Amino acid sequence: MHQYQLIFHRDRSLEIEGKQSEVVLIRTWASSYCKRVELALKLKGIPYEYVQEDLANKSELLLHHNPVHKKVPVLVHKGKAIVESLVILEYIDEHWNNSPILLPIDPYQRSKVSRKSLCQIALENFVVGSRNVVPLINTKEGTLSIIVSKGEAQEKAIEDMIELLRVFENGIKNDFPGKLPFDDQNLELLDIIVSTNACNYQAFNEAVAVVMSPEKTPTEFFLWVNAFKGHPLIKDTLPPHDKLVAKMKRKFFQSL
Ligand SMILES: N[C@@H](CCC(=O)N[C@@H](CS)C(=O)NCC(=O)O)C(=O)O
């Protein structure tokens, strides 16, 4: 088990390997769930330190703070742990209620970005580079259908994903008028989730199979994602492309 040098201070801040902060994020560098939280912290201007977790050799810190799921991200705020990325985002927005406000004020829109909403389901099934992409695509072939399948089966799996994006794009147009096209407005929860999930599409295309392209993907969704890539904070948060391609190749092909 990996061990960190940890000091718990009286003011309930945590010192990790010499770095002290009230807010510590336990994360991995490639996880889009973790990227959501990092982007939210940056948008709100909240100072934080992070601990890089090795999921193949989970740390005592992670197991202590997330004993049930044993997953990243975990946000440790003044010694207290918050788990599950969407719960963390809600916590950040409520605790640091300075602008930008991340959750929609409108209760209907709020329901659309909540945990079991279509928006979340669509995205979690689309998560670029994640196994979670898969259940909705082609359950018969199990969890790696998009790459284990070849030829027609793969085309069908990709078409199903693209269809999901069409449903998603229409949902955004109906429920979030003004959201598309992207006009560099304040980033909110929806933008955080979409950008951290979808902006890595080129790495996924390169490592696994071409899913998103101007020819295939619903136009406004595609433009939205590409516009995100030009946003300075998003650019600063996304994982490095080459490293991500290498990781995706290892992850997907190793599990075959
Ligand atoms: N629903 C969780 C999912 C988090 C998740 O799946 N994290 C992955 C990394 S991307 C993890 O920690 N996996 C470790 C494991 O499954 O053992 C969230 O939104 O935070």
The ipTM of this complex is 0.99
Q: Tokens for 252?
A: 């997907």
The domain made up of 23-95 is a member of CATH 3.40.50.720: no
pLDDT of residue 233: 94
Please name the residues in contact with 228: beta carbons below 8 A apart, sequence gap of 6 or more: 182, 191, 194, 195, 198, 199, 234
54, 60, 75, 199, 217 from 1: Cα distances, Å: 10, 7, 20, 33, 43
Sheet order of strands, 49-52 included: 49-52, 23-27, 74-77, 80-83
Q: What angle do CA 66, 68, 71 make, to 5 degrees?
A: 50
Return the best residue to mutate from 54, 72, 88, 120 for the ligand 1 pocket (most ligand atoms within 8 A of CB). 72
Residues with CB under 6 A from ligand 1: 28, 31, 33, 55, 70-73, 84-86
Per-domain residue ranges of the chain? 23-95, 107-254
Bridge partners of 80? Answer: 77
Radius of gyration of the chain (CA): 19
Q: Tell me, letter by letter, the H, E, C secondary structure of 154-188.
A: HHHHHHHHHHHHHHHHHHHHHHCCCCCCCCCCCCC
pLDDT of residue 9: 73
**For residue range 210-229, what is the model confidence (pLDDT) as tens digits?**
888 999 888 998 999 999 99
Which candidate, 200, 201, 179, places its Cα nearest to that of 188?
A: 179
pLDDT along the chain (256 residues), means of 10: 67 72 94 95 95 93 94 94 94 94 90 69 49 34 52 75 80 84 80 89 87 89 92 95 91 63
Going from the Cα of 115 to the center of ligand 1, the distance in angstroms, rounded, reads: 15
Residue 86 gets the label, from left (phi > 0), alpha (psi -120 to 50) or beta, of alpha
**CB-CB contact of 102 with 89 (8 Å):** yes
The domain made up of 107-254 is a member of CATH 3.30.70.270: no
Q: Which phi and psi (to 5°) does residue 14 adopt? A: -120, 135
pLDDT of residue 133: 32
pLDDT of residue 122: 57
pLDDT of residue 84: 93
**Minimal-distance CA residue to ligand 1 atom 17:** 71
**For residue range 179-214, what is the model confidence (pLDDT) as tens digits?**
888 776 678 988 998 899 889 989 988 988 888 899
pLDDT of residue 148: 55
Going from the Cα of 73 to the center of ligand 1, the distance in angstroms, rounded, reads: 7
pLDDT of residue 43: 95
pLDDT of residue 139: 33
pLDDT of residue 181: 80
